[in-house]
Structure 1
């Protein structure tokens, strides 16, 4: 007599050893569709509704697992890049390539597309060796396409670079000038100057940080005219919210001087109210200003009790701050 799969499944269930699991999640739960089955019993497991019963199966090889960080292999194990020394689903070769592995494959390894390879070259399914004449950017051996790095050819102005020797001579200097990752047409060493992608021209940097930090004072920026705008010249310029303070570049403005502000970060009190830095009170029942907790810490001093928030031990009555909470010493 032939037994149907239904009766076979029931026979297996009846003779299987008991487990410590909830009976509702054992194989054999009645179903009309997979949606009727409970949650999977573990990683790389899945339920299937077979002839009216929920049956626990290994997930198909290639199924994403561990929040997409790995894939299920043929042994129903969640395999991640670099953990098994074998080629798992979606890898193009052992522990490299594919949409999940961050590691690129070395020359001679299998590939599907150029980005699978460390040389950025996939030829006939194999990562090809680098060349300085293939019109492909090999980021390991070249600074830009077929130039710089290990290539004899120097990169022209406007091309990418890592060091001066990647670049063709800049102007009459006789030496290459790599500034901020771009080969320059001229040395471009003055403050508030940078080289332009594509042309290598030396251009002004208006309203922003000096890319090379070459202004006289630390933290200085470039103003609208492309000149250094420092935080000690006695005037409000560039991004400052008040004279020589605020703006995210100069030191915070002092609440004691009622400095002008745009945000709380512009103020040494961490409180900007109506465009003016103000000193919050330490008895207003609010956590405001630079306080680490309600009316304590920060400008309020060592006044936070056990369990209250802190940044440094000086915020706490106990003089002990662990994991940003005041603790018993």
Structure 2
């Protein structure tokens, strides 16, 4: 058939590609819009009727005439022997009109009418009639347009134009967007940009967000994270928090928990309180309440003072003031020395010094011996021996000595009992002074003088026999000096200096300037010479030398007895990086990172205790770190507690607690939110246009206008209006559901 000078193609409504259900196709100047043919003047031959095809004349059979009818009516309209699409004049002309909104019109192609096809999935078939009306699209399987639907509840329909202008959302029932409103009072309209920037909120009346202002002076902007970390507060003028600072040096950060616990104070530089320490080993924690009470000392481990203990029974607590005074000894059950007592009256306090000296007894009520008395005059002190000795000697009553033995022998001789014999020369053995020409028989030898006293002798050596000679200083073989030894000059020492003074006899030591008896095991001491055992260890008279870092003589309840230290301790630091075992020796190997064989400040590495690592060193356990903190795989300066903090932010900052940048949260501290860059999690999100997710919401969350909240992403098929709402990241049709 023959067409005019123009031709056109009809396209059903809603099947175009401008997204609004109004597609247009032009051919030879003909344009069809919304299913109607519109012809421009240039496309109408001169003299032709310009009426639209809908107004075309009706043929004799009552049907319309036109190319689309001629090419699909099964009639050879131009008489050339060809019908419909087989006619060359029908090429490109509609041969099957669209039956419904999602059916496409087919045009003659290659001499035939193609098979009936549907509009592609996603083709708009019904445009949105209002802001909350959802435009419907073909599904590619049905010729019908889906039922008219409204947008899901919560879908944005009017964007906020100012900080406190509320963003309106569809209610899920109406085609119309709700009336433009103002955000409720208290709604956050400007997040804090820094620690001392105040968060602004809407007043419920104005659409504008209040002017940006700093936080009030005194607002805490950085809480103290450690015992020696100072809390920083805003100054009311700056948006920035003051620099992190430590508490002043000397600030108490850990009070003493007991008399043997040391209180710790900040050093003014570190945020950490120094490690918990104890009072020094041996420091006094309880003074002696009496001469028989022991001073208790800290053991360097426990926080409490050891149990109160007394000096052992038998410890001398009061020396004898005189010959009739008794030495008092501690009972072992009381801190006080027993009441001062005196020797009974039966005690001889001064033996007879010679034949005419009377022995004196103590009075029982005084510390001193009474006056020296002699035997009464006339008391026979030497009877006549007989033979050549015919005269008996009697005491004079004024001298302790018996008068010289008188015999019938000449002055150069003495009576040996039966015969007068010659007197003996100096240095000759004798039994009595009458035997000696000198008249003195001392220490068994005829002596040149009376040689009286414990520190002189006439028998010091073979060469000195017969000559009165001073005994060497520091000796007293006759025990005539009491607690003292002889001094130079042949006299007894009467004072001393230095604990182990040679002026004191064995079994005595110098206390102040006086020689006193050695102390019993368990008594306090400063030198072994003060102890009966001969051992002074850890400040106590001990039953052995008790040497080594893992044994001690001052453990509570075991004073004076060498005892193994508790396993796992080493108060004297004698084991290096190790501690004591239960056998009184140092460990020499270890197992497990945090081994109890290693001292505090050390950990076990490959069976050996080594020093704890410095901050910034890779770690797997806090016991590996000198700071006591292993955070994010590195030894850290602090516990770095709280959300949005890390000790491994970068290679340069390893070991220092740093704030995570805004918009990040690799450890999911913030759940559906992210870190704000100030050490906290965001708690709300401004749901402005295009602000669906970052930096406020986590990657697996989205921001909803209903309360400015970040919600977890939705699963496939859930209603959506933006891909960031979906776990798949894609929001598709129909009904705006999340794609798989």
- TM class by shorter-chain length? 0.3 to 0.5
TM-score, structure 2 normalization: 0.16
Query: Structure 1 length normalisation: TM-score?
Result: 0.32
Larger radius of gyration: 2
Higher helix fraction (1 or 2): 1
